[in-house]
Structure 1
Amino acid sequence: MKRPPLDSPTGTRVVGTYAMDDGNNEHRQTLITSIMRSGLCTGLEIPFLSAQYGDCAWLWPLLPADSRHVFTMVTATMERIGSNPEFGLASTNAQGRREALTMMRHVAETIYWLHSSSPLTIAAVEIHSAPSGGSIEALYESMATMVQWDWAGAALVIEHCDAAVPNHKAVKGFLPLHEEVRLIDELRATTATTLALTVNWARSAIELRDPDAVPEHIRYCDERGVLGGLMYSGTSAISGPYGSAWSDTHAPMQAEQRFGEPTSALTNERLSLTRRAVNNPLLYDGVKMAIRPDDAPLERRYAYLEYALRGLQTASALRKEHKE
């Protein structure tokens, strides 16, 4: 049994509804089912093993047959770092790395079970070079272990988060992009497991402190053949309702009227330019947006996500026309 991900720019398009969660189970489920019926995405970016979603036993029955999803481990990872700063796949602390591998083993077993017993597909798992102060050697050891497991066709994808840099304080401070890229390139020769890297628009903008420089990260990965995904969430160069300047709080797109945040650095133009920076096929792309105030009505939550997904749909279509 093996269910490989589609190798296509829109084979898997996901939306991280969890970033808009208000803690109400009924609202959570309504938003998920509504967005899945929209036809604008193939599935969700799922914060697996997070305090919010747990093992997702409640989620599977809500998802349509043949829907395609992505697991993100960033929430579970950051939650565990909160109680153990040495937790992570790149940890130089042996116990912290073992705990991270134990978590990932559970992820692999869940994907195998899902692909064996349901029509759902997990196309990729986003992993992270945590914690701050980790090492590329430790991450290599972790991934060399993980690629020996059966991922049932799911790709292992490092989602790049802002790295520690000398000129400003990092938000996450994980490993540099060039080290993550080199690791993927080296490990690919040793395994049949699909390995790739995902650029998160906001996290690259936060690291670079320049939203117009994000295409540099995308082209760097794309030219080396390791770019597997693009996730779009926003950030802002100034303080506002989504926190201080350059916060990683998933600000929505900057958009007219009620569909976005005026201070956000993520515009339709920047979305389109970064999507066009990709030459090779992607495993997946998607959007992840938060909303303020926290108790915004469901209709407004849905409208924000629909607006962003339609923007990505348009950008992808323009990219295709441009390449042809």
Structure 2
Amino acid sequence: MSLIVGAYPAQPEDFTQRQFFEAIAQIPAIRGLEVPYRATGGDPWPAGAPAGWSAVVTAIPGTMQRVGLDRHFGLASVDPDGRRAAIDFTAGVREYVTGLRDQGHQVEAVALHSAPPWRGAAPAFAESLAEILDWDWSGTSLVVEHCDAPRQGRDPEKGFLSIQAEVDVVRSLKDRGYGIGMLVNWARSVIETRQSRTASEHIAYARDAGVLSGLMFSGCSGEATEFGYPWVDAHLPAVEVDGAPVSSLLNAREIARCLRSAGELPITGFKVGLPQNAVSAEERASLLRQMCALIADNVAAGRS
């Protein structure tokens, strides 16, 4: 198994960034990067990252930035202007994908999301996705990444559509011949219920519906940590990684359980932030290497 790595929350923001990407380029398990598309556009291909690596583009940074400016913004919005703004935003994502391809990078997939918080509806989401899927994506797949849905009596991190609603939308589009799937992010599922088992439940639900296309490991904690408040979606490392909060709920056992449940998928990977004391580029790369090993070791154990 080779991995897609969301390295952007872990990368240094200074002149050592090239050194960081050159270091993680030496990790054999990595085949590509999850790269962010923000409200102002997509990040350039990182200096030092191999040109031969592929990419998965995530629209979540820009989606949340735009939601912060307009509570009606989103592909699932029942507000026509908010939905149209999100479709136009996604057109920018497609242009970014075209630009990466023109630079010689394979773009495996684009991850889209069922914003806005609280104000989304499955029919609106289905209509938006059908329009978007009719565009020419030049072989790039589209996936819906599930984020936490609202729960009574608590403030959500994202508050998008339920896994059931998203799976129904994706399955109906697949039945109509569209190429689309679901991606489960471990932390974003766990944050929804505050129960670790939810990630594997969501994986099984999407798998049994025939729509599971991806699995990304990212941790969370029910306690305040240096990463933020309890249940923040801040990409905590697995607890076995050096310097990870001891309260991180992501661990080798959960990784193994989810990998068994998911089976072989087009996209498997992880996205983590790093502790504040992970200062140097070499230290940061070493911690990503530990995350790679946790996943690879569990894959090897499952095959033995």
Under a length normalisation based on structure 2, what TM-score does the superposition of the two structures give?
0.92
- Partner deviation per Cα, 1:238-262 (whole Å, 9 max, x = no partner): 1221222211111111016x35321
Displacement of 1:139 after TM fit? 0.7
Matched, 1:252 2:237: yes
Cα contact 2:237–2:274 (8 A) shared by 1: yes
Q: How does 1:172-251 map to 2 (within 5 A)?
A: 172-192=158-178, 194-251=179-236
> Which of 26, 30, 33 is residue 22 of structure 2 equivalent to?
33
> Which of 33, 47, 68 is residue 82 of structure 1 equivalent to?
68
Q: 2: distance between equivalents of 1:65 and 1:249?
A: 28
Q: 1: distance between equivalents of 2:122 and 2:53?
A: 34
> Which of 36, 41, 55 is residue 42 of structure 2 equivalent to?
55
Displacement of 1:301 after TM fit? 1.5
| Alignment-mate amino acid for residue 140 of structure 2 | A
Aligned match of 1:5: none
Cα contact 1:22–1:295 (8 A) shared by 2: no
Q: Secondary structure at 2:254's aligned position in 1?
A: helix
Q: 2: distance between equivalents of 1:172 and 1:49?
A: 16
- Partner deviation per Cα, 1:130-184 (whole Å, 9 max, x = no partner): 1112111111111010010011111110100000122432111000000100101
> Which of 267, 270, 275 is residue 292 of structure 1 equivalent to?
275
Q: How does 1:1-324 map to 2 (within 5 A)?
A: 10=1, 13-24=3-14, 26-49=15-38, 54-56=41-43, 58-59=44-45, 62-115=48-101, 117-132=102-117, 133-192=119-178, 194-255=179-240, 258-279=242-263, 281-293=264-276, 296-321=279-304
Displacement of 1:293 after TM fit? 1.5
Gaps of 5+ in 2: none
| Alignment-mate amino acid for residue 55 of structure 1 | G
Under a length normalisation based on structure 1, what TM-score does the superposition of the two structures give?
0.87
Displacement of 1:113 after TM fit? 4.5
| Alignment-mate amino acid for residue 82 of structure 2 | G
Displacement of 1:185 after TM fit? 0.6
Q: Which has the higher mean CA deviation after the structures are superposed, 89-98 or 177-186?
A: 89-98
Displacement of 1:22 after TM fit? 4.3
Q: Which segments of structure 1 move beyond 3 Å, counting only runs of 4 or more?
A: 60-63, 112-115
Aligned match of 1:4: none
Q: 2: distance between equivalents of 1:162 and 1:55?
A: 24
Q: 1: distance between equivalents of 2:146 and 2:94?
A: 21
| Alignment-mate amino acid for residue 265 of structure 1 | L
Displacement of 1:292 after TM fit? 2.5
- Partner deviation per Cα, 1:8-38 (whole Å, 9 max, x = no partner): xx3x6211111124432x2333322321232
Q: Secondary structure at 1:42's aligned position in 2?
A: strand
Identity %: 31
Displacement of 1:294 after TM fit? 7.1
- In structure 2, the CA distance between the partners of 1:318 and 1:298, relative to structure 1 (3 Å rule), is same
Displacement of 1:114 after TM fit? 3.6
Q: 1: distance between equivalents of 2:278 and 2:31?
A: 27
Q: 2: distance between equivalents of 1:160 and 1:72?
A: 12
Q: 2: distance between equivalents of 1:294 and 1:139?
A: 41
Displacement of 1:63 after TM fit? 3.9
Q: Secondary structure at 1:260's aligned position in 2?
A: coil
Q: 2: distance between equivalents of 1:33 and 1:264?
A: 28
Cα contact 1:159–1:198 (8 A) shared by 2: yes
Q: 1: distance between equivalents of 2:220 and 2:187?
A: 5
Aligned residue pair count = 303
- Over aligned residues, Cα RMSD in angstroms? 2.0
Q: 1: distance between equivalents of 2:45 and 2:152?
A: 42
